């Protein structure tokens, strides 16, 4: 039970005492010189969990995606991705600005491009056309409410891309949520893609950081891009130490977040004026549609805040609730109660 129930995002998780302890004790060195043993341990551990030869610690998921995208491509190429993807919508147009890339967003039903959609989006050899440089997939899918795609779905998309000689990047900011929800090893999702980024700073509760995993050759080139983008950090084992605790101690407990989200979603779906597509509540995100529109959405966000429940308005008529380790079952009940009180007046 916490004083404030903060459901705005799983990025708000605070580091655990064990993380702070590990950070305080971390053996460090200059990571730009390749001499930080704790960063090396995190990179090796992440690579092992994802079944890839090498890893690279980066400052954020956004930096991880940008570094990956520009490492795979050349200026003037096109990136095929989902219309609602984080890379397309929430990364400040980094790929077009820094990578001089054209984005090719495609609308999808669930946030995942089908193999047919990828096939259609790939550019044929023609002097007029940009070349397709990369296909991106996202798992779990943020804007679609934490939905998961299976390793087999990723494999099918990757097969089409690879047949055309196009690499695939997986934005797996919350990949471990998908792994826990579908009870599959994280490596199963990474097997068919050329690179993957995941965050230790979200549900895995570390204060800072993401890791890119891929081939040794890819990671060496990515390391140069990271340096160019200002991501060459020094005794950053202080931060990587918390990421190691994330991977060793915080993965299995994501199931609790999923159970809380499920309970929250099922409760909210029963309230008047609220709609929750329960089929999308697969991990730790619940998207609530507010049938009465923007004014009612605003009223709910403010009313919840007055009851010490923080939620995030997502567009004009939706609210996003994200469960995480600093929201327990009791907190979930309090959040539900706040919504119940507010909607009972409607
Ligand atoms: C959060 C998120 C990112 C970016 O991570 P930051 O660490 O916030 O930069 C990338 N992709 C998805 C799907 C995300 O949810």
Give distance in angstroms: CA of 62 to centre of ligand 1.
6
160 token code pair = 């089409």
Task: Give the DSSP H or E segment for 132.
Answer: strand 132-138
Instruction: Report the alpha-carbon distance of residue 50 to residue 196 in Å, rounded.
Output: 8
Relative to the CA of 140, which ligand 1 atom is closest? 13
Residue nearest to atom 2 of ligand 1 (CA): 173
Give distance in angstroms: CA of 66 to centre of ligand 1.
11
CA angle 69, 70, 71 (to 5 degrees): 90
What residue ranges define each of the domains in the chain, with the CATH number in brackets? 5-11+253-343 (3.90.1150.10), 17-249 (3.40.640.10)
Question: How large is the angle between the packed helices 61-72 and 216-228, nearest 10 degrees?
Answer: 110
Using a 10 angstrom Cβ sphere, with 0-12 exposed, 13-18 middle and 19 or more buried, the burial of residue 312 is middle
Give distance in angstroms: CA of 67 to centre of ligand 1.
13
124 token code pair = 């044929």
Buried b (16+ CB within 10 A) or exposed e, 12-24: bbebbeebeebbe
Instruction: Report the alpha-carbon distance of residue 346 to residue 324 in Å, rounded.
Output: 30
Give distance in angstroms: CA of 173 to centre of ligand 1.
5
Give distance in angstroms: CA of 241 to centre of ligand 1.
20
Q: Is the CB of 169 under 6 A from ligand 1?
A: no
Q: Which of 12, 62, 149, 198 to mutate to test the pocket of ligand 1 (most atoms within 8 A of CB)?
A: 62
Cβ neighbours for 344, distance < 8 A, ≥ 6 positions apart? 272
Nearest 5°: phi and psi at 119?
Answer: -60, -40
270 token code pair = 């029963």
Q: What is the pLDDT along the chain (346 residues), one digit of tens a residue?
A: 899 999 999 999 999 999 999 999 999 999 999 999 999 999 999 999 999 999 999 999 999 999 999 999 999 999 999 999 999 999 999 999 999 999 999 999 999 999 999 999 999 999 999 999 999 999 999 999 999 999 999 999 999 999 999 999 999 999 999 999 999 999 999 999 999 999 999 999 999 999 999 999 999 999 999 999 999 999 999 999 999 999 999 999 999 999 999 999 999 999 999 999 999 999 999 999 999 999 999 999 999 999 999 999 999 999 999 999 999 999 999 999 999 999 998 8
Which residues, listed in sequence order, are joined to residue 196 by a DSSP beta bridge?
170, 213
Place of tokens 């190429």: 77
Q: Is the CB of 144 under 6 A from ligand 1?
A: no
Please, what sign has the CA dihedral across residues 86, 89, 93, 95? positive
Strands (E) located in 139-214: 168-171, 195-199, 210-214
Give distance in angstroms: CA of 146 to centre of ligand 1.
12
The alpha carbon of residue 21 and the mean position of all alpha carbons in its chain are separated, in whole angstroms, by: 26
Relative to the CA of 138, which ligand 1 atom is closest? 13
DSSP state of 202: S
Distances in whole angstroms, Cα of residue 19 to Cα of each of 25, 234, 242, 336? 10, 19, 5, 31
Q: Is the CB of 199 under 6 A from ligand 1?
A: yes
Instruction: Report the alpha-carbon distance of residue 148 to residue 90 in Å, rounded.
Output: 19
Relative to the CA of 59, which ligand 1 atom is closest? 7
pLDDT value of residue 346: 86
């Amino acid at each position: 039970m916490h004083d404030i129930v903060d459901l705005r995002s799983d990025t708000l998780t605070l580091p655990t005492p064990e993380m702070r302890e590990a950070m305080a004790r971390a053996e460090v060195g200059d990571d730009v010189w390749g001499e930080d043993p704790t960063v090396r341990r995190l990179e090796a551990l992440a690579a092992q969990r994802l079944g890839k030869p090498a890893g690279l610690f980066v400052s954020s998921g956004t930096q991880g995606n940008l570094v990956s995208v520009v490492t795979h491509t050349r200026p003037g190429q096109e990136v095929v991705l989902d219309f609602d993807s984080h890379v397309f919508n929430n990364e400040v147009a980094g790929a077009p600005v820094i990578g001089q890339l054209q984005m090719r967003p495609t609308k999808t039903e669930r946030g995942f491009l089908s193999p047919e959609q990828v096939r259609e989006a790939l550019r044929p050899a023609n002097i007029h056309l940009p070349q397709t440089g990369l296909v991106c997939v996202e798992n779990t899918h943020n804007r679609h409410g934490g939905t998961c795609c299976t390793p087999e779905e990723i494999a099918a998309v990757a097969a089409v891309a690879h047949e055309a000689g196009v690499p695939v990047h997986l934005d797996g900011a919350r990949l471990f949520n998908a792994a826990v929800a579908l009870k599959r090893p994280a490596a199963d999702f990474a097997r068919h893609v050329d690179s993957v980024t995941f965050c230790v700073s979200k549900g895995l509760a570390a204060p800072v950081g993401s890791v890119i995993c891929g081939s040794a050759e890819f990671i060496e080139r990515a390391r140069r891009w990271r340096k160019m983008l200002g991501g060459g950090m020094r005794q950053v084992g202080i931060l990587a130490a918390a990421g190691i605790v994330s991977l060793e101690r915080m993965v299995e407990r994501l199931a609790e977040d999923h159970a809380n989200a499920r309970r929250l979603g099922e409760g909210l779906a029963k309230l008047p004026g609220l709609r929750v597509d329960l089929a999308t509540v697969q991990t730790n995100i619940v998207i609530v549609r507010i049938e009465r529109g923007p004014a009612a959405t605003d009223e709910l966000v403010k009313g919840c805040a007055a009851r010490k429940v923080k939620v995030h308005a997502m567009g004009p008529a939706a609210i996003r609730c994200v469960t995480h380790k600093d929201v327990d079952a009791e907190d979930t009940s309090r959040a539900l109660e706040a919504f119940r009180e507010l909607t009972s007046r409607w």
